[in-house]
């Protein structure tokens, strides 16, 4: 196959334009653009649940302050516990099992949260992870409707519905 020399310096040889290779290149460029565009619009799609359903779904419900944060892992000093208090230590390790996916979590160092979590175990460690579609939130960030026209902070609703909770300090950490 002979390739015709281009007339102009920036012109591709005729054998490389308009043929199957040209279509392949255009298809690859289009696919790359589509993939890049979808990565920017990430959002975790969840069905809405009530705070009570979220409480029931979680194995652990507690408040705590993030004292260490790195690579989607956080150490949290537990303050109050409403669910599974006998099993929860003073400090727990949270891991984000959704890291790199649309439901990944971010917790700020030094900030306090109410956590709705489940336990997970690896071959060596015990760690906790917050449900992606549950009510884990920074303290004093979310008001929920209560009786009448009243609204309560999420953590105040928990106290109202489930009592004052227990101080941290169960088994293990």
Same domain, residue pair 12 and 93: no
pLDDT tens-digit series, residues 73-104: 999 999 999 998 878 889 999 998 888 888 88
Name every residue whose Cβ is closer than 8 Å to that of residue 120 and which is 6 or more positions away in sequence.
Answer: 95, 97, 126, 127, 128, 129
Question: Which structural domain, as residue segments, surrounds residue 37?
Answer: 1-41
Whether 46 is in a domain gets the answer no
Same domain, residue pair 157 and 79: yes
Pairing mode, if any, of strands 60-70 and 166-167?
Answer: unpaired
Pairing mode, if any, of strands 60-70 and 73-83?
Answer: antiparallel
Question: Which residue in the block uniquely carries the two structure tokens 């175990």?
Answer: 121
Distance in angstroms (rounded) separating the CA atoms of residues 5 and 130: 63
Cα-based torsion angle of the residue sequence 57, 162, 171, 126 in order, rounded to the nearest 10 degrees: 20
Same domain, residue pair 8 and 86: no
Distance in angstroms (rounded) separating the CA atoms of residues 133 and 136: 9
Same domain, residue pair 80 and 116: yes
Same domain, residue pair 69 and 152: yes
pLDDT tens-digit series, residues 11-59: 555 555 556 555 544 444 444 444 433 333 446 788 899 999 999 999 9
Same domain, residue pair 36 and 82: no
Task: Work out the number of other CB atoms within 10 angstroms of the CB of residue 129.
Answer: 19
Average pLDDT over residues 112-140: 88
For the chain, the domain total comes to 2
In the structure encoding, which two tokens stand for residue 107, read together?
């917790």
Question: Which residue in the block uniquely carries the two structure tokens 């997970």?
Answer: 120
Can you give the pTM of this predicted structure?
0.71
């Amino acid at each position: 196959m002979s390739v015709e020399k281009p007339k102009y310096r920036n012109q591709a040889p005729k054998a490389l334009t308009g043929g199957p290779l040209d279509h392949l290149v255009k298809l690859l460029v289009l696919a790359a653009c589509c993939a890049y565009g979808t990565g920017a619009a990430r959002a975790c799609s969840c069905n809405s649940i009530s705070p009570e359903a979220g409480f029931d779904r979680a194995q652990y419900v507690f408040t705590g302050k993030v004292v260490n944060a790195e690579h989607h892992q956080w150490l949290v000093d537990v303050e109050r516990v409403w669910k599974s208090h006998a099993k929860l230590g003073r400090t727990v390790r949270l891991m984000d099992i959704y890291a790199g996916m649309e439901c990944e979590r971010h917790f700020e160092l030094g900030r306090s949260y109410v956590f709705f979590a489940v336990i997970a175990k690896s071959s060596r460690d015990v760690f906790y992870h917050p449900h992606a579609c549950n009510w884990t939130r920074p303290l004093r960030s979310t008001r929920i409707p209560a009786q009448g026209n009243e609204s309560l902070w999420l953590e105040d609703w928990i106290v109202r519905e489930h009592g004052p909770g227990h101080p941290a300090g169960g088994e293990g950490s």
